[in-house]
Structure 1
Amino acid sequence: MSQAQSSNSNIPETDFNLLDDSEDADNHTSDPTATRLSLQFQLDESYLGQRIDQVAALIWSDFSREKLKQWLKDGHLLVNGNTVKPKYKCEGNELLSLNVELEAQTNSQPENIPLDIVYEDDDILVINKPVGMVVHPGAGNITGTLVNALLFHYPKSAELSRAGLVHRIDKDTSGLLVVAKNLEAQFDLSKQLANKSVYRIYDVVVYGNMIAGGTIDEPIKRHPVDRVKMTVLPGGKDAVTHYNVKERFQHFTRVQARLETGRTHQIRVHFSYIGHGLIGDPVYMPRVRVPAGASELLNETLRGFKRQALHAAKLGLVHPRTKQDMMFEAPWPEDFSQLVDVLRSENAAY
């Protein structure tokens, strides 16, 4: 896998110095669960003439521009040690200093929901998410989410935006997610994702015969009519999916897809676009296609598979603190394994 340390001129390197309720923060007199954040960033000439609030939002993108503007006004974000207004124009050589005490970033409530934890240390948490679990609370899903579970498992995640999440997978997609346990890790992992250096492999079962692997490089944006869907359209965000054929059946193919980018529904949209929609996908393949002459078992299995046949099987990253390459794997869930077993027995290739 590529190294997350590789440079990208659009993503600033940040010098982090986090102080929490450890022995390094003996002057910390507020709530013992709060985190004091001290960040510095040295500007260069590429920022010349830009507004300071815009620059700060680019550098520290996990915070909203409005929050950063307020910190400028309150004197928590200084330029060369001085308070400036949000409309201050940068000269390109300033030192930015951010010193704040973080407040709770979420109104979600902790819930004692079991987590399948693949790996955990002081900085990151790797979780094998089950089918049916929503990752982040939203309309119609304010409880029972991964965020609710994280807040119970690790209460200090309340201080992080999105409770430490740096990426998501769909409700009915199973598999691996990495979650940050502190701001240093969250910024670092977000930077790795932006650098496209996080290695993400998905197991997929699609309709039709795919002959060989390849790359789908097509932009994705919200569907102009059906707002539930994403679609391939000019002017959308860049989206790249690499894939390899792993197993062929008579009427179906099992492939592995590697994400270079991480757009909403990317794999589902890309494979539907090339005519190989995912088995069970309720949005992009709403009609079950049962091959002519299919056995009763195959018929029942296809009709009974009610979610997209998509599993986040492998996750590779560089540890934000140790800088070591790490690779995690999650076995197929029972429904995915059963689907493949039935295809092997009832739809075997000639």
Structure 2
Amino acid sequence: MESIELKLPLSAAGRRLDQTLAELLPDYSRGRIQHWLETGQLRVDGEARRRRDKVRGGEQICLHTNPALEVQTAAPAQEIDFALVHEDAHLLVINKPAGLVVHPGAGQPDGTLLNALLHHNPELAALPRAGIVHRLDKDTSGLMVVAKSLIAHQSLVTQLQARLVHRDYRALVRGDLISGGSVDQPIGRHPQARTKMAVVASGRPAISHYRVLKRFGHCTLLGVRLETGRTHQIRVHMAHLRHPLVGDPVYARARQPFPAHAPAAEALRNFPRQALHAIGLALEHPASGETLSWEIPMAPDFAQLLTELDQPPEVRE
């Protein structure tokens, strides 16, 4: 059985129940939450509620369900390449390439990592989102962990919620940062542009820690460790510091050019995606309890950009 108990925040007063729960339970799809409400598995103050009901804030939420009895993933299996870093009876660790969407959504019905996972292991169809418990943006490369069993799924969700999964990134940002630090700023939907995220007072807590690895003059290579996992978190936090990621088409000021004299200015201007790579991952194995960690090389395009930035001016010319 899977059990969840929580209390709705007072700040949620007046909002739809399913919307509020979707924000409080980010590791579950809204469709799954709505299913729980419709079947009465998820109760509010001990009573069944409709998904469109408004909340007053302070209600007690209680869920008891058996994931094994739910049909979770209905999507076609498709042969799509991805790099396998680790696999055992409970876990898959993959190196997601830039450009691969994690799971189907509006405008992307298939051709995603989820479809690729179902081709790799059809039994993943029995798990929520084919075992996907966290995501990377389409154009972010690097490490992701996927559950292969119900035990692993529950364990990974719990570890993520308890901030016990360690995720390390490399980010190339605009500007010359003097030192590292932390950003502790809430993230939510942008008040005007609903497809973007932003630092907003009503957002969910978000904490990013960063350190300077190398300065190139007009940009800086950072190591970033996430304490939370909000949508676009690193991209939003770096933009909030006025040091957006190189190549970020959403959070960097539109078409802001690098000066012609900047190191590898043309390569920086032409980099086709946000310069962000999930390089390290550590977690507790769901079955053995052993602490496991992985680190992978930089994505080839990102590594090439850093190589060009490292070249002396006469070589670049």
User: Which range, TM-score by smaller chain?
Assistant: 0.7 to 0.9
Contact 1:249–1:347 (Cα < 8 Å) also in 2: no
Aligned residue for 1:323? Answer: 289
Contact 2:67–2:150 (Cα < 8 Å) also in 1: no
Amino acid at match of 1:289: P
Pair 234,189 (structure 1): closer, same or farther in 2 beyond 3 Å: same
Q: Is 1:293 aligned to 2:261, yes or no?
A: yes
1:98-137 CA-to-partner distances (Å, cap 9, x unmatched) read: 5575353223100011220000001010000001000010
Contact 2:185–2:207 (Cα < 8 Å) also in 1: yes
Aligned residue for 1:8? Answer: none
Aligned residue for 2:149? Answer: 182
Q: 1-side partners of 2:131 and 2:4: how far apart?
A: 26
Contact 1:250–1:347 (Cα < 8 Å) also in 2: no
Aligned residue for 2:88? Answer: 121
* TM-score under structure 1 length normalisation: 0.73
Report the Cα offset of residue 293 of structure 1.
Answer: 2.1
2:233 pairs with 266, 286, 295, which one?
266
Amino acid at match of 1:315: L
Aligned residue for 2:209? Answer: 242
Pair 232,125 (structure 1): closer, same or farther in 2 beyond 3 Å: same
- Backbone CA RMSD of aligned residues: 3.1
1:130-160 CA-to-partner distances (Å, cap 9, x unmatched) read: 0100001011111210000001111111111
2:117 pairs with 119, 125, 150, which one?
150
Pair 99,279 (structure 1): closer, same or farther in 2 beyond 3 Å: closer
* Structure 1 gap segments, 5+ residues each: 1-38, 47-53, 78-83, 88-95
> The residue matched to 1:204 in structure 2 has which SS?
strand
Contact 2:68–2:150 (Cα < 8 Å) also in 1: no
Report the Cα offset of residue 289 of structure 1.
Answer: 2.6
The structure whose Rg is larger is 1
Equivalent runs, 1:182-221 vs 2, <5 Å: 182-221=149-188
1:56-88 CA-to-partner distances (Å, cap 9, x unmatched) read: x999x8584554456668xxx9xxxxxx9748x
> The residue matched to 1:272 in structure 2 has which SS?
helix
Contact 1:222–1:230 (Cα < 8 Å) also in 2: yes
Pair 305,66 (structure 1): closer, same or farther in 2 beyond 3 Å: closer
> The residue matched to 2:114 in structure 1 has which SS?
helix
Q: 2-side partners of 1:102 and 1:259: how far apart?
A: 34
Amino acid at match of 1:121: D
Aligned residue for 1:26? Answer: none
Q: Is 1:312 aligned to 2:278, yes or no?
A: yes
Contact 2:2–2:67 (Cα < 8 Å) also in 1: no
Q: Is 1:130 aligned to 2:108, yes or no?
A: no
Report the Cα offset of residue 329 of structure 1.
Answer: 1.1
Aligned residue for 2:302? Answer: 336
State the aligned residue count. Answer: 282
Contact 2:68–2:126 (Cα < 8 Å) also in 1: no
Amino acid at match of 2:259: P
Contact 1:251–1:347 (Cα < 8 Å) also in 2: no
Pair 62,257 (structure 1): closer, same or farther in 2 beyond 3 Å: same
Aligned residue for 1:30? Answer: none
Q: 2-side partners of 1:266 and 1:127: how far apart?
A: 21
Pair 99,304 (structure 1): closer, same or farther in 2 beyond 3 Å: closer
Q: 1-side partners of 2:249 and 2:201: how far apart?
A: 25
Report the Cα offset of residue 262 of structure 1.
Answer: 0.6
Amino acid at match of 2:258: V
* TM-score under structure 2 length normalisation: 0.80
State percent identity of aligned pairs.
Answer: 47
Report the Cα offset of residue 294 of structure 1.
Answer: 3.8
> The residue matched to 1:151 in structure 2 has which SS?
helix
> The residue matched to 1:135 in structure 2 has which SS?
coil
